[in-house]
Amino acid sequence: MPSMPSIEALTELFAWPWLLAALPLPLLARWLLPASRASGAALRVPYGPRLDAIAQGGGGHALRGGVHPLLVLAWILLCVAAARPQQLGDAVQPPQVGRDLMLALDLSGSMGEPDMELGGRPVDRLTAAKAVLADFLERRAGDRIGLLVFGRRAYALTPLTLDRDSVREQLGDSVVGLAGQETAIGDAIGLAVKRLRAQPAEQRVLILLTDGVNTAGALDPRKATELARSEHVRVHTIAFGGDGSLSVFGFKLPMPGAGDEVDESTLRAIAEQTGGRFFRARDTAQLVDIYAEIDRLEPIRRPGKAVRPKLERYAWPLAGAFVCALLALAWPRRRA
């Protein structure tokens, strides 16, 4: 014995299956509404009995009570059309272009050195880096980007997200010393690996910018590099910092204690061992070129979630109801 269709099955077949409850409405109306009974003829004519015989013996084109079968079919089709029958189309797997990028920004005390220029005026290293990163974010539509900062320790400010505005907002609120005055490069790489581990292997990218040497943290940069390589995280490293001088009216003035102390050899080894690239930026213009070069990396095309579109099929029963109604109205004229 066939089972009744389940609610889930009806939901798959119809967008509004509850409208099928209107099918028995004509029968309910016939049963509930009182029949009109005339006490006598309003007009008596000599051929009255003959008219009654014709009206009562109208042939087999009507159901009991004078309802045409085509009108019944038209009502059924109309209810089916109102329920919006649907059909699942072929599966479509839209492509998505983008990467999962973690941006690691050094907030140690040395990032406050004012040996950079931005728009013709002297600024500190962090201000210059934030301006270049903000421009980089503008061009990365389609990427999921996360932001972490590091000093004495590493902290994630935003998770991987498509909302670049929130990343830009957190970037703008970052200040020197927020994570401590020292530099924990190994901890920054380890935290980024942890955040990227759940993503597809070919999409894990870390862009790390620092102006110093690893002086703090629980994880040694060499161990962090091995961890990143084992987790297939590609690390691009940027050594950022000037030559220890400040430009004043076009003249270079030396700044005591602001010499070039970036650990280029360690940063280069991190990039080479993880399949990334090492960059050296001594001024804002070079940093702009570096992020432009990273921006030109070929995006990784990854398949999106497969979906099956729902195709509307209400037009067919609606057209059938219209045709049945026309045939029912034209039937008596053809029989006359």
> How high does pLDDT run on average in the chain?
79
288 touches 296 (CB < 8 A): no
Question: Strand, helix or coil at 260?
Answer: coil
Q: What confidence score (pLDDT) does residue 5 get?
A: 58
300 touches 98 (CB < 8 A): yes
Question: Given pLDDT bands bounded at 50, 70 and 90, which one contains residue 147?
Answer: very high
100 touches 158 (CB < 8 A): no
Domain ranges of the chain: 68-92+310-336, 95-303
| pTM of this structure | 0.60
Q: What confidence score (pLDDT) does residue 222 get?
A: 94
Q: Is the CATH code 3.50.50.60 the one for domain 95-303?
A: no
Instruction: Between 329 and 147, name the one with better pLDDT.
Output: 147
Q: What confidence score (pLDDT) does residue 143 get?
A: 83
Q: Is the dihedral of CA 285, 146, 237, 300 positive or negative?
A: negative
Please state the separation of Cα 129 from the chain's center in Å.
29
> Looking up tokens 């004229």, which residue turns up?
333
The DSSP string of 54-70 is HHHT--SSS-TTS--HH
The pair phi, psi for residue 258, each rounded to 5°, is: -115, 35
Q: What confidence score (pLDDT) does residue 59 get?
A: 44
pLDDT in tens, 4-49: 556 666 677 888 888 888 888 888 877 777 655 544 555 555 545 5
Does the pLDDT at position 87 exceed 60?
Answer: yes
270 touches 220 (CB < 8 A): no
pLDDT in tens, 238-295: 999 865 544 444 444 444 444 447 889 999 999 999 999 999 998 889 999 988 888 8
Does the pLDDT at position 211 exceed 60?
Answer: yes
Q: What confidence score (pLDDT) does residue 8 get?
A: 64
Instruction: Between 184 and 199, name the one with better pLDDT.
Output: 184
The pair phi, psi for residue 276, each rounded to 5°, is: -95, -160
Q: Which of 101, 107, 102 is nearest to 210 (CA)?
A: 107
Q: What confidence score (pLDDT) does residue 251 get?
A: 43
Rounded mean pLDDT of 128-147?
A: 89
186 touches 221 (CB < 8 A): yes
